[in-house]
Amino acid sequence: MATDDGVPKGRHEELAPAKINLTLHVTGQRADGYHLLDSLVVFADLGDRLTLTPADAPALHVAGPMAQAVPTGPENLVLRAAASMGVALDIRLDKHLPAAAGIGGGSADAAAVLRGIVALRPDMGLPTDQGLSLGADVPVCLRARAARMRGIGEQVDPVEDLPPLHAVLVNPGVAVSTATIFRSLARKDNPPMPAVLPVWGDAATLAGWLAGQRNDMQAAAIAAAPVVGQVIAAIAATDGCLLARMSGSGATCFGLYADAQAAGLAATSLARPGWWVRAVRLR
């Protein structure tokens, strides 16, 4: 909320939704080491919550059930995002997403700060690199709706008409390093998705198509954290599960279901000590 002359006023709230890679094809590697990706990315109706207040000096207050997993200093991506725009904000971060979990929590938080700054300061535009220098997932998280992500993350093409999609997210409480999993990939030149994506009429059709696609980081993540394989098997065994797969570099995995009731029942049956389990709607 800002006055007409662009002077910041008041405070602004943003949701930083969880990012899910329904597919994650690793198709090459650049000379600088970054990997080329082709990924169908969607977002949950669940995420971190940020409250941004213009301030004289940057400040960060982290709260919420996952607060302990994230840094509270200037290395936190929310402070880095604000600093990259040259804006001083007092930021309250209610952390609900597990960190280092393949669901882009840090990137989603950074993107939410960039969106929030533009809302507070209409005189400012988004960074020309769409936040890529903060993290490869930030450009897609800026959109926070279904998209096809390519390049190292800078090419984001909207995917419209996604069918209603319900899911369960399961994280077994093991942090997985994105850099480590990328480094340990056996192959880095896998095929991309088809040039033109189909239009899927319903969740079952989409899941059937996804079954022929891949997450090329999944095998390496299971090798590093075998519990990921147990999570996928447990999700796949739930009633009505249309597809079970890992998101990003792990360790969070998802199951797809035709409706909210099936996803809710699956979430209940997947409860285990130390597992973070949530039923969500994807879009």
Ligand X SMILES: C[C@@](CO)(OP(=O)(O)O)[C@H](O)COP(=O)(O)OP(=O)(O)OC[C@H]1O[C@@H](n2ccc(N)nc2=O)[C@H](O)[C@@H]1O
Ligand Y SMILES: Nc1ncnc2c1ncn2[C@@H]1O[C@H](COP(=O)(O)OP(=O)(O)O)[C@@H](O)[C@H]1O
Residue ranges at the known binding site for ATP: 98-108
Helix (H, G, I), strand (E, B) or coil at 74: coil
What DSSP line would sit under 164-182, residue for residue? PEEEEEEE-S----HHHHH
Tokens coding 34: 């970054």
Q: Buried b vs exposed e over 151-182: b needs ≥16 C-beta within 10 Å?
A: bbbeebeebeebeebbbbbbbbebebebeebb
- Please identify, among the stretches 99-107, 115-123, 205-213, 214-222, the one whose residues bind ligand Y according to the rule CB under 6 A: 99-107
Shortest CB 24 distance to ligand X, Å? 6
**Does residue 137 have an active-site annotation?**
yes
Return residues touching ligand X (CB under 6 A): 21, 24, 33-35, 37, 39, 102-104, 107, 135-137, 152-153, 178-179, 182, 248-249
Report the first-to-last Cα separation within the chain, whole angstroms: 26
> CA-to-CA distance for 44 and 272, rounded, in angstroms?
22
Binds 71: which of ligand X, ligand Y, none (CB < 5-8 Å by kind):
ligand Y
Binding-site positions: 98-108
Which DSSP state fits 69?
G
Amino acid at 249: S
19 belongs to the catalytic site? yes
Residue 83 CB, shortest distance to ligand X, in Å, is 16
Three-state secondary structure readout of 195-222: CCCCCCCCHHHHHHHHCCCCECCHHHHH
Q: Determine which residue in the list 249, 256, 257, 279 makes contact with ligand Y, applying CB under 6 A.
A: 249
Query: Which of 38, 48, 137, 216 is the catalytic position?
Result: 137
Residues 56-85 that bind ligand Y (CB under 6 A): 70-71, 76-78
Closer CB to ligand Y, 102 or 116, in the complex: 102
170-229 binders of ligand Y (CB under 6 A): 178
Q: How far is CA 193 from CA 49, 103, 196, in A?
A: 33, 21, 8
CB of 277 to ligand Y, least distance (A): 18
Q: Which of 8, 17, 54, 102 binds ligand Y (CB under 6 A)?
A: 102
For residue 18, the minimal CB distance to ligand X (Å) is 10
127 near ligand Y, judged by CB under 6 A = no
Nearer to ligand X, 136 or 241 (CB): 136
Q: Does 109 bind ligand Y (CB under 6 A)?
A: yes
Residue whose C-alpha is closest to residue 247's, from 70, 45, 43, 108: 43
Give the active site residues.
Answer: 19, 137
Contact set with ligand Y (CB under 6 A):
70-71, 76-78, 99-107, 109, 178, 248-249
